[in-house]
Structure 1
Amino acid sequence: MELRPLTLHDAPPMAAAFRALGWPGKTEEDYAAYFARQQSGELVVLVAWSGGQFAGYGCVSWRSDYPPFRDGSIPEIQDLNVLPDHRRQGVGTALLDALEALIAARSPVAGLGVGVYADYGSAMRLYVARGYQFDGRGLMSAGRPAEPGSTVRIDDDVTLMLTKNLRP
């Protein structure tokens, strides 16, 4: 497996792989925007290739949009995706190891958010097994607390936020 920073040449095969899965919203333009943010130093995107095939990617945002992370200078791992054919082969673990190492060079704590519906079950188990702990602020909807009694649509914008101490 090869892990390396995103290049513009990665955008077409990445977008095609997600298009083949029927996942809209993962376009070449999205990856070009990630590349521009990476070039500005705002974001790091690591891409995993296995056997010459695109297998997955993950990002570190150095300045999180989530207020508790932003205010605490906690970098956030975002948009970690491993293609279904490459799951349970160590791709997610390798990406997390590399992303956490990047964060550890600058911060003692990493943060991330995880979706709350069944598609995220494997990710939830992986994060907890790696030592991530829920930040205790409850359900977030588009980065804001879901207030008691409110109605939220359960989609990818509804998350629980977690942190991990990288320097025990």
Structure 2
Amino acid sequence: MDDALEIRPLRVEDPPVLAAAFDAIGWNKPESQYRRYLGEQEAGTRDVLIATVDGEFAGYVTVRWVSPYEPFDGIPEVQDFNVLPKFRRRGIGSALMDAAEALVAERSPIVGIGVGLYPDYGQAQRMYVRRGYLPDGRGLIYDGRQVPPMETIRNDDSATLMFTKQLR
């Protein structure tokens, strides 16, 4: 990639920039979400990594140090990983994941991640497998709980498969 890629922590001036970037593509990611992330980052419960290309916001990923997914029990979870469409296929997502995994590796030998099941998540599903993530073996999860056989659920952002990866 020829452009100047920078990956850095979320800053106090970032929330309106991120919200506007997602609003411009029709995604509901309000400024309040990023203000909450900033507070969690300051409290040490979440780290947020921002990618910029030539100073322009391109994407972000977060590391939640205590996963709400009970089976992870102490395994940090990569959450809310997004690269703006105009910046995709340029290595930015891989660079963000590299940075998030390196951050987790300082504190944990394992990292977890969840991925949605509908086609919008197809690229992420493939990326995680190529990066060495393996399903945790608990099957379909909805809102953090295992879905029993034969139960019908809605295929939305709450329906996920959970994965882990050995970092060291």
TM-score w.r.t. structure 2 length? 0.96
Residue of structure 2 equivalent to 1:47: 50
Residue of structure 1 equivalent to 2:65: 62
Q: Unaligned 5+ residue runs, structure 2? A: none
Report percent identity of matched pairs: 56
Distance in 1, Cα, partners of 2:128 & 2:158: 18
SS of aligned partner of 2:13: helix
| Deviation for aligned residue 1:102 | 0.6
Distance in 2, Cα, partners of 1:44 & 1:148: 35
Residue of structure 2 equivalent to 1:120: 121
Distance in 2, Cα, partners of 1:51 & 1:162: 33
| Deviation for aligned residue 1:101 | 0.4
Alpha-carbon displacement from aligned partner over 1:120-156 (angstroms, at most 9, x marks no partner): 1100110000000011100100111111121111111
Q: Unaligned 5+ residue runs, structure 1? A: none
* Contact 1:141/1:158 (<8 A) preserved: yes
Q: Match of 1:148, as an amino acid?
A: P
Distance in 2, Cα, partners of 1:2 & 1:27: 23
Distance in 2, Cα, partners of 1:160 & 1:8: 33
* Contact 1:114/1:124 (<8 A) preserved: yes
Match of 1:37 among 37, 40, 47: 40
Distance in 1, Cα, partners of 2:134 & 2:42: 31
Distance in 2, Cα, partners of 1:52 & 1:100: 23
Residue of structure 1 equivalent to 2:86: 85
Runs of 4+ residues over 3 Å off in structure 1: none
RMSD over equivalenced CA pairs, Å: 0.6
Residue of structure 2 equivalent to 1:2: 6
Distance in 1, Cα, partners of 2:64 & 2:37: 10
Residue of structure 2 equivalent to 1:110: 111
